[in-house]
């Protein structure tokens, strides 16, 4: 691991300091606001499912960072990324069902894409740190 990435991780005192967690929280707010507009008949279906997996993203980032173990953190980041991809799939499905407009889908998927890249970058840094500690 480079000195820069190790230094960056040592400055993280809390998951709240992580840009990925902050962006994940923003993504959850976007998902909730958009899914509020979906049909009431989906309240216990697609709406609940997309909200649950979107909430799982920052939750897993926080839990993983709280483990204070790079291997565990990387594992939880991968779980967060999987939940993000699940949310993307449900957003695309909502669009196909006519619950959201194409422009809204574009905004949500762009936010998810940016977030996914942040999570993947963080996985690389943490995994490298884990490998260096062996």
| Domain ranges across the chain | 3-132
pLDDT 10s digits, 53-84: 999 999 999 999 999 899 999 999 999 999 99
In whole numbers, what is the pLDDT of the chain averaged over residues? Answer: 91
Q: Which residues contact residue 47 at a Cβ distance below 8 angstroms, ignoring those fewer than 6 apart?
A: 35, 38
What pTM value is reported for the model? 0.89
Q: Find tokens 């897993």 and name the residue.
A: 60
CA 18, CA 15: separation in Å to the nearest integer? 5
Contact 82, 54 (CB under 8 A): no
Check if CATH label 3.40.50.280 holds for domain 3-132.
Answer: no
pLDDT 10s digits, 112-124: 999 999 999 999 9
Cβ neighbour number for residue 52 with a 10 Å cutoff:
13
């Amino acid at each position: 691991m480079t000195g820069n990435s190790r230094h960056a991780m040592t400055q993280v005192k809390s998951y709240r300091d992580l840009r990925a967690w902050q962006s994940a929280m923003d993504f959850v707010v976007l998902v909730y606001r958009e899914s509020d507009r979906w049909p009431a008949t989906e309240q216990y279906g697609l709406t609940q499912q997309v909200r649950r997996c979107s909430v799982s993203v920052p939750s897993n980032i926080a839990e993983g960072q709280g483990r204070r173990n790079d291997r565990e953190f990387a594992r939880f980041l991968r779980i967060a990324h999987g939940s993000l991809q699940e949310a993307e799939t449900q957003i695309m499905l909502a669009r196909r069902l006519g619950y959201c407009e194409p422009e809204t889908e574009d905004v949500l998927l762009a936010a998810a894409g940016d977030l996914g890249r942040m999570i993947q970058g963080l996985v690389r840094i943490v995994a490298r740190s884990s490998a260096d500690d062996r």
